[in-house]
Structure formats: structure tokens, C-alpha cells
A and B are shown apart, each in its own frame.
Chain A
Amino acid sequence: MYLYPVFLIVIVLLAFVFISIYNRFVQLRNRIENAWAQIDVQLKRRYDLIPNLVETVKGYAAHEKEVFEKVTQARAQAINASNVGSQAQAENMLTGTLKTLFAVAEAYPELKTNQNFLMLQEELSGTESKIAYARQFYNDEVMKLNTMLHAFPSNIVGSLFGFKEKEYFEIEEVSREPVEVQF
């Protein structure tokens, strides 16, 4: 006699728990997609800044051709990378060549008084740290999602609605460091 209402309450509670877990999954999935898009936005911003930077430095150090070519080449490779792995590699190379570029720029004191150069340098290092932060956020959210997919009881909801584990964005520790901005 008393069983029926108790049963009903249990069902309602279970449904409530299920719905909130499901919503959390959806929220995490959207955040991960968003974070991924954010990384792309910042990477693109970085690609856009590089030609300007190269042009500006060229104006003062036209004969450092080799460095410019390397930067341009690394940029093209990163843009045209077909998968995450080769992109990460190309990004590392790009970061390395940019470091060389800034090291070369060190030798030209007039460059350091060029407002355009200073602005590009700030923009570039700002963008680099944004890329790093976007990746960090992406990985944090992926970790939350993957944990939920393994932990009880959220794993039941996860497999029921076909939520998949996401891959971490692995990258060499070196590339997390922003380009040196010291004068």
C-alpha cells in the first residue's frame, strides 16, 4: 500500500539525477567544441600577424633572408597541416623560427623604437599565451568529460547516450612558452 508512492518518488529522483547528468554531458561537450574553436581562432590570428611582422623586420634587416624564408615556410606548413599531429609539429617549428626572428631583431636597435614592430610583438606574444590558455582550458574540460565517462553513475548515462571520450591536446612543453619579449 505504501510501496506505490515510495516507488514513484524513487523514479522521480532517478529521473532527476539522470537529467542533470545528461545536461552536464551536453554542457561539457559544447564547452569542448567551443574551446577547440577558440584554439583555431587564436592560431589563425597568429598566422595573420606573421606576414606583417616579417615585412616590418624586413624594412630594417633586408639581408636576413634565410630567417624570413624559414618563418614563412613554417607558417605555410602549419596552415596546411592535415592532422593534429603534424600541425602540432609545424606549430613547434613555427615557434622556433619566430624565436630566431626576434633574436635577429635584437641586433637592430631602430626596430625597438618602431611602434608597429612593438605592437606586433605584443600582439604575437599575447596571442601565443591565448593559444596556451585555450589549450589548457580544452584539456581541463576534456579531463572532466573523460572522468565522467569512467565514474559511476555518470558512465551509465554516458554510454546510454553515446558520449565519447575526447583526446587531449598533447604538445611539447617547449611550445607552451611564449616568444621571448625581452629587450
Chain B
Amino acid sequence: MYEQIASNIRRSWLVIIIFSIFVLFLGYIFGELTQLGYGGVFLAALIAIFMSWTGYYHSDKIVLAMSRARPIEKDEYPYLYNVIEGLAIAAGVHTPKMYVIDDSAPNAFATGRDPEHSAIAVTTGLLEKLNRLELEGVIAHEMSHIKNYDIRLASLAVVMVGIIALLSDWLLRSFWWGGRKRDEGGRELGGILALVGLILAILAPLIAQLMRLALSRQREYLADVSGTMLTRYPEGLASALAKLTMDREPLEVANKATAHLYIVNPLKDISGAINNLFNTHPPIDERIKRLRALTFEKNIK
């Protein structure tokens, strides 16, 4: 548990450092290609500092805004409010801020930088489709992410790695499809963009690999198990996961950068090599199997 926290804090710094090196490298290339020279590196350094600061202190707000989550009052969802408060007591952490996403696809995520600055967001679909025990299972899973500092690493990854990934995706596409539209005046700039796009295209799988490394599937299993330590009822989460995986509706506000935050992959019909690289979720069947094994062990005793 304590090693887990230490490792997450270490990895968070690693993400920041690698991201900064990457941005500086891009700045260097940019400076070489244009007449900026070292100005490019300087510009990149400014960007890297700004992005790291934003990523560390404000990634939760960015993530919540990206997911169109709105804060709730107790009067509106007393049921959810009580469940979250109860599990925060069970975990011995501050009560996280609570958000709801108006979407009928059942899913949930936690974000923030530490247990004192954390938030849990659930979709309205989750509240409709799960019973209390299942909802407690899901919230306990998220509470474990908060307690383990998984949220810091995962939220940083959204802002740093995710943005690079989205950018490379976008640049690559404009590189493929934008070629014909280029006119005389834009040739030079277009050429630079194409080159940057090409570099990013080569680096994108590496970045995706980095993301997978940072957010190993192991931590989902871990959150499942330590969540169960809070509810003492593995079947709640197991049957919630079964329900979530049966639901084929994709969550519209989720994208490649935020998908790894959710308890189950919100991009349902993914396929193709790139998407597989981004698949940070372990197979649900395996998660359910492990949870049910916990139930079984308990029965033997």
C-alpha cells in the first residue's frame, strides 16, 4: 500500500520529466526548421513549465470539464451523496467532491492530485442501472484509486500524454488529407507541420506504450481488491462490472485521452492497432473472476 503510493508519486514525476524532455525536443526541431534557433527551445521550456504546472494542479478540473461533469448538491442525489460519504469514512479519507455526467452509459471515474483534493464523477446511467450494493462496489473501487494516489498519475497522464496523443492523431490526419489543399504561400508552414506530424506519428506508439507503462493494468486489479477491503463484499463490484460490460452504449464525453480513467473502457466498439495500444483496461471477465475468487475464499473460512 505505502509502496504503491510511493511508486505512484515517483511515476507522476517521471511523466512530467519525460513530457518536458519531449516538448523541449520538439522545440529544438521547431527552432532548427524555422529561423528561431534556440528561441524554439526557450519557447518549449516555457510551454513545458506551464503544462507541468497545469497538469499537476489543475488536471482534475480539465478532466472534469472534458467529461462535462457537473458538481452536485446533496438535495439532488442524496443516495449517491450518502454512498460516497460512507465509503470516504471507510477509507479514512476526506470526502471527495462529487460530480455527475448526464449520460445514460453507466461509468465512473476519480480524479485529483491527492486524497485532500479529489473528485468522483459518475454518470446518471450508473445511478439508474446499479443497485446500492453494486454502486458501493464501484465507489469503493474509485476510493481506492484516490487513496493510492492513482488519481494523480492518471490525471497527469490525461493532460500530458493524452494531449500529445490527440495532437499527433490530429496532425497525422491533416498530414494525410491536407496535402492537396496546400497553396503556394502555405507550403513552407505545411512542410513543417507535415514533418512534425511525421515525427509524432513515429513517436505516438512509443507514447502510447509509455501510457500503458504508467497505468499498468495491475492497478485496476489492485483497486478492485482494495475496494473490496472497504465494502467487504466482492460480489457487489463483480455484479456491477458484469452489468457495465453488458451495456454496449459508448460514453460520448470520453475520448482516448480520458478513457483510461474510467472503471470500464467507455469507448465500447474500439478496434485497430492504435486503439489497442491505448487499451489500458484489463479484460473485465478476468476482473470479475478474481473478485468472485475472493468471495469463494471468504466462504471457505
Contact = CB atoms under 8 A, between A and B. Distances in A.
B86 A126 contact: yes
Given A119-B78, A122-B78, A136-B232, A130 B85 contact: yes
A171 to B, nearest CB: 14
Given A122-B79, A126-B78, A136-B232, A141 B92 contact: yes
B94 to A, nearest CB: 12
B87 A133 contact: yes
Contacts of B78: 119, 122-123, 126
Contacts of A129: 82-83, 86
B205 to A, nearest CB: 43
A134 B230 CA distance: 11
B18 interface: no
Interface in B61-90: 78-79, 81-83, 85-87, 89-90
Give the interface centre of A125, A126, A181 by most chain B CB atoms within 10 Å: A126
A137 B147 CA distance: 14
Nearest to B87: A133
A123 B89 contact: no
A119 B75 CA distance: 9
Give the interface centre of A119, A133, A181 by most chain B CB atoms within 10 Å: A133
Task: Give the interface residue-count category, chain A.
Answer: 10 to 19
B82 A133 contact: no
Contact of B86 (A31, A119, A130, A181): A130
A56 interface: no
Nearest to B88: A133
A38 B78 CA distance: 20
B83 A126 contact: yes
B66 to A, nearest CB: 31
A148 interface: no
A35 B88 CA distance: 12
Nearest to A34: B92
B89 A38 contact: yes
B79 A133 contact: no
Nearest to A122: B78
Contacts of A133: 86-87, 89-90, 230
A126 B95 CA distance: 15
Contacts of A181: 132
Interface of B: 78-79, 81-83, 85-87, 89-92, 132, 230, 232
Given A35-B92, A130-B82, 9 more contacts: A119-B78, A125-B82, A126-B81, A126-B82, A126-B83, A129-B82, A136-B232, A137-B92, A141-B92
